[in-house]
Amino acid sequence: IYDNMRDFTKGSHLKIHMVVGGVSLNRQAQELGRGTDLLIATPGRLIDLLDRRAVSLSKARFLVLDEADQMLDMGFIHALRRIAPLLPAERQTMLFSATMPKLMADLAKDYLNAPVRVEVSRPGVAVDRIRQSLHFVEKAGKPTLLKELLTTHPADKALVFARTKHGSEKLMKKLRQDGFDAGSIHGNKSQGQRDRAIAAFKAGDITVLVATDVAARGIDIENVGFVYNFDLPNVPENYVHRIGRTARAGADGASVAFCAPEEMSELAAIQKAMNKRIPVEGGAPWPTAAGTQANGGKTTGRPSGNRRRRRPGRGAGHKKAA
C-alpha cells in the first residue's frame, strides 16, 4: 500500500509515512513530528505512537480499514475500538474486506454511518489458468510428500502456505534441514525480517517461501511457478487468494493442495465456493463424519505417500547442490 501510494502521489506535495512494528519507534516518532498527510499504519504500532503522543488523529478526514477481516482474525478489534474514537466524528470511513463474517458486520454497524455497500465479484480468469491438484495425505506425512514434490519437480520459486505461525517456522526449518533454500514470513517475524525474506525470494536467494495467509496478504511476487497448500485454509476465499499468487501477468501456474482427514470440511467448503472439484492426483478421499466420501464418493486408492502419483505439473521447488 505504501509503495502504491507513493506512486499515486508523485508530483504532489503530500507527505506519506508508514508505521509498522519491527522498525525503530523513536525514528518513526521523529519523522511524524514533521507532519504527514497520508499515514499507513498497523493498529498496534499506531497505538504505540498515540500513547507517546507522537501523532494526533484529531484532524484526520478519512479512515480506511483495509483487510479488515484479517485484522479481526489477528485480534486487532480492541485496537480498532481504541483508535476510532480519536478521529473526528465527521469523517469518511471506508472498510475493505474479502469476507463478511458476523463480527465484521457488527464492526461496520459501529463505525459506518448509512454506508453504501459495494461488492466486487472474484475474477475467475487467473484461477482458470492455474493447474490445480489435490493429494490426500495424513498430517504426519505432509513434510515427506512436500519434500518429494519439491525434489522431483524443481522450480525457481515455490510458495508454501501453512496455517499457523509456529507451523510455518517449523516447516521452514525442516525444509532447510532437507537442503532447500527456504525462508518464512509470519506474524512472529519482525517487519524487517519479513521484508528481507521477501526480497531474498524475489531475488532467487530463497526458492521456497513458507507463509501464513496474513503475512502473505498484499505481497506481489512475479514468476511463482508453484503454490502449495500445505494446510488447507479455514476460510474458503483464502484458497483463491493463495493460488492467485501464481499465474500472474498472463503466465501459467500450478498449485497443489494437501488434505489430511481432519481437513475434509475445509476441502468441501473450498470446492463449494469455487463450484468445482480439485482433481485428485494422490491418495483417495477420506471418509467424512457422515460416512460418505468427498469427490463423488469414490473410495479407491490409498493416501499420498503409499501410492504412485501422477506428475503434478511444471516445477515445484529448488534444492541446493550437494
Predicted confidence (pLDDT) per residue in 313-322, tens digit: 444 444 444 3
Question: How far apart are alpha carbons 260 and 83 in whole angstroms?
Answer: 41
pLDDT at 107: 75
Question: How far apart are alpha carbons 305 and 311 in whole angstroms?
Answer: 14
Asked if residues 137 and 307 have their Cβ atoms less than 8 Å apart, the reply is no
Question: How far apart are alpha carbons 50 and 89 in whole angstroms?
Answer: 18
Grid cell, residue 179, equals 537442503
What is the pTM assigned to this prediction? 0.68
Asked whether this chain's domains 2-111 and 125-282 adopt the same fold, the reply is yes
**Complete DSSP assignment for 129-152:** TEEEEEEE--GGGHHHHHHHHHHH
Nearest to 51 by CA among 85, 83, 91: 83
The rounded radius of gyration (Å) of the Cα atoms in the chain is 22
Q: What is the mean pLDDT of residues 23-47?
A: 93
Given the C-alpha cell 460416512, which residue does it identify?
Answer: 291
CATH number for the domain whose boundaries are 125-282: 3.40.50.300
Question: How far apart are alpha carbons 132 and 278 in whole angstroms?
Answer: 6
Is the pLDDT at 99 greater than 90? The verdict is no
pLDDT at 122: 55
Q: What percent of the chain has pLDDT over 90?
A: 51
Given the C-alpha cell 481504541, which residue does it identify?
Answer: 82
Mean pLDDT check: name the lowest of 27-31, 200-204, 218-222, 305-309.
305-309
CA-to-CA separations, 42 to 46, 136, 196, 216, in angstroms, rounded: 6, 38, 19, 15
**Band (73; pLDDT cuts 50, 70, 90):** low
Grid cell, residue 104, equals 465484521
Q: Per CATH, which fold does 2-111 belong to?
A: Rossmann fold (3.40.50)
234 CB neighbour count, 10 Å cutoff: 13
Q: What is the mean pLDDT of residues 149-162?
A: 91
Nearest to 125 by CA among 251, 268, 255: 251
What are the structural domain ranges in the chain? 2-111, 125-282
pLDDT at 158: 95
Strand 253-259 to 226-229 pairing: parallel
Nearest to 312 by CA among 202, 213, 229: 229
Arithmetic mean of pLDDT over the chain? 84
Question: How far apart are alpha carbons 277 and 132 in whole angstroms?
Answer: 9
Nearest to 185 by CA among 172, 202, 203, 204: 172
